[in-house]
Chain A
């Protein structure tokens, strides 16, 4: 694991006239469980999209492990050790649960077109290894029993979990979770919090969590970054953030004349 983790320096992105994220700086340390919160439309998902290379920042730098991520394609950023889930689940719906995870191991795969065609001993060895790794991972997260189901036929909670497992299969050092608790009931949320802590514990990776639900974030995050209207307004431990007047007014006391936010 590298020592420097993820750094955002003065990151700004504008879409036409709209500044979605403005001058945001933040650091996610290796092994840290951090939260990114803010009211609707504060730019949280946009920050994820900037980190993972879906959008390129208009200004500012993003580095991971000391190396700049500028100009890298999303798949290259994933290969540097950053994996993500999506706010609106994006599984490979027609693929089986097993294949969803197996495909994500792809990064660490040696084979390609020609080994697939020739199917020599080393191909079979690698396939067996991969199947075993996939099976283990599914087993840990209790998805082994549905391994042959198409992903889209799973219940909602399992789909969320599968998406996290799939991201883990890329063997990341930093895992970005985009509103994993969305649409869950309180009991499921408690399960999810346990799951996230379990992952951090077991795989020793950093996690950045975008979340609406304050209970979830306050309950598990070590450090929280707060966005409002694309700007960072606070950073600190859960208790610090809870007492921060700017955060309180952002969440509770929005001025009546405040401009409507973009959705």
Chain B
């Protein structure tokens, strides 16, 4: 029983991080219909921004270790990532708006390679120990071991998901986002500035990825420029699993994947973890080609 609860908690905190990253994939796919391969590297940047901010804070004698400090670092990281995301879209993707998806996809791969290799040059290749930006303690509840960081991860993720939900469902710009995602041409015909919406979407998605990066680094306390690859791929799987383009789908897919991974980790199949994630994805796509919560687009004949 304790064992199971432990797994649930581990799965939840892992899944929450995947969900945050997956949302960015799915949001961008919603408005632009392409897979933003550079997303996982924005996630990496989020972790590095937090790392350097935390060090700077320490040097300038800011109070470290408090929750307020942690939240400040998190917000800074998210802002930086949002800016990076918007700049990437502006410079690399916008000029290709009328080109085939494939062209944009390859460009995204180029951007991803640039961030990874540029990161290796700037940050160095070696892993860096990530500092405790939130007060860290371990709670022991009758054999159930919970790291306070896991609770922070869950709390932050829930707060961000609620904020996102509110923005998308209840604000003007959120409505515009949904309109662009539903039909970009029609949206621009009714006077929606699609470019502005796309920028906004990239900003939000990248901010979420940045937050995901910080939270991930807190739980796996070392960071390096290629750290985005594996969680990025997982989050991408999560997005497709849930139905790419669907926000609840991305959250669900992320959680599901988090559980599966922690479930597999303890067993002798742990080395097959990545393969199992993909196998589940493939299995689900074969029965529900549009993912769990995705709309099935029937081609009109």
Give me the interface of A with B, judged by CB distance under 8 Å: 45, 49, 54, 86, 88
Contact = CB atoms under 8 A, between A and B. Distances in A.
A49 B300 CA distance: 10
Nearest to A55: B301
Contacts of A49: 301
Contacts, number: 5
Contacts of A54: 301
Contacts of B300: 88
Nearest to B298: A15
Interface string B289-301: 0000000000011
5 contacts: A45-B301, A49-B301, A54-B301, A86-B301, A88-B300
Task: Rank and list the top 5 A-B pairs by shortest CB-CB distance, nearest first.
Answer: A54-B301, A49-B301, A86-B301, A45-B301, A88-B300
Contacts of B301: 45, 49, 54, 86
A45 B301 CA distance: 8
A67 B94 CA distance: 55
Nearest to A45: B301
A54 B301 CA distance: 8
Nearest to B300: A88
Interface in B267-284: none
Contacts of A45: 301
A86 B300 CA distance: 11
A8 B133 CA distance: 71
Nearest to A74: B301
Contacts of A86: 301
A76 B112 CA distance: 45
B186 to A, nearest CB: 15
Interface string B14-58: 000000000000000000000000000000000000000000000
A38 to B, nearest CB: 18
A88 B301 CA distance: 8
Interface in B200-216: none
A242 to B, nearest CB: 30
Nearest to A263: B300
Interface in B148-174: none
A103 B254 CA distance: 45
A45 B300 CA distance: 10
A49 B299 CA distance: 12
A54 B300 CA distance: 10
Interface in B223-282: none
B299 to A, nearest CB: 10
A91 B301 CA distance: 13
A49 B301 CA distance: 8
B19 to A, nearest CB: 30
Contacts of A88: 300
A53 B68 CA distance: 63
B131 to A, nearest CB: 54
B44 to A, nearest CB: 40
A198 B301 CA distance: 27
Nearest to A54: B301
A88 B300 CA distance: 10
B70 to A, nearest CB: 49
A105 B301 CA distance: 22
A116 B281 CA distance: 37
A202 B264 CA distance: 68
Nearest to A84: B301
A195 to B, nearest CB: 23
A6 to B, nearest CB: 19
B254 to A, nearest CB: 29
Nearest to A46: B301
